[in-house]
Amino acid sequence: MSVLTKVLGDPNAREVKRHLERVADINQLEPLMQQLSDDELKAKTAEFRNQLAEGHALDDLLVEAFAVVREAARR
């Protein structure tokens, strides 16, 4: 381990920690996604497109989009 890594910390560990926080947010949406019908789940795609067209940032939609994709993959 280099001195720089000891002082600044492992950049990979920081990146993993950042993603783990997002994963926790995605997991919190799981019960809501499970309650959606197949048609409601499909409609989320159009909803995301509309929000992007309105100028919402992709990062703002990321957590919900991943939750929708995971639920769709389960079905």
DSSP string across the chain: --HHHHHH--HHHHHHHHHHHHHHHHHHTHHHHHHS-HHHHHHHHHHHHHHHHTT--HHHHHHHHHHHHHHHHH-
The pTM for the full model equals 0.78
Give the model's pLDDT for residue 5.
Answer: 67
Give the model's pLDDT for residue 13.
Answer: 87
Q: Encode 53-63: b = buried (16+ Cβ within 10 Å), e = exposed.
A: eeeeeeeebeb
How many domains does the chain contain in total? Answer: 1
Q: Which domain holds residue 34?
A: 3-74
User: pLDDT tens across 2-54, in order?
Assistant: 776 677 778 888 889 889 999 999 999 999 999 999 999 999 999 999 999 99
Question: Could you tell me the pLDDT band of residue 1, with boundaries at 50, 70 and 90?
Answer: low
Higher pLDDT, 56 or 8: 56
